[in-house]
Amino acid sequence: MKKIIVNDTTIFSISKAGKRTAFKDRVEAARLLDGALLDAIELPEFSDDKTEEILIKSISTVAKNAAVAVRVPLAAPEYAEKAAEAMKNAAKKRLQVAAPVSAAQMEFVCHKKPAAILKAIIGKDAET
């Protein structure tokens, strides 16, 4: 093994668990994690919430070493552009799109057929 990549999910996990942590504390946690020389700091899935957008902007200015990794939903491609805009000041940035791989998840989570999921991933007709 030549390289080990370390991503931290602390801020993502806090948000996913529904715990309310002060904005200032999340930014300070990102600053400390960045100082630990991690490869990426994973943030919660992007939504149209202004508070989350400001959090991404704030963490993007704080993170100098680690990539700022923001999850965007496959079902809302317009969020990718908004998330990219929010982290434009980050030294390193990463958009993470999670796509379902089982037919059950495709139909019950995303409400799409496999061909539609493939089209959403590659951005063009799945048959080509």
pLDDT by residue (tens digit) across 21-62?
888 988 999 999 999 988 999 998 888 788 889 999 999 999
pTM: 0.77
Amino acid at 33: L
Section 94-100 average pLDDT: 85
Higher pLDDT, 25 or 1: 25
Q: Which own/partner pairs from 94-102 qualify as long-range (CB within 8 Å, at least 24 positions apart)? A: 94/40, 94/67, 94/68, 94/69, 94/70, 95/69, 95/70, 95/71, 96/42, 96/69, 96/70, 96/71, 96/72, 97/71, 97/72, 97/73, 97/121, 98/71, 98/73, 98/74, 99/74, 100/74
Instruction: Scan for tokens 């504390």, then name that residue.
Output: 25
Higher pLDDT, 48 or 86: 86
pLDDT in tens, 3-16: 888 888 888 877 76
The C-alpha atoms of residue 80 and residue 49 are separated, in whole angstroms, by: 14
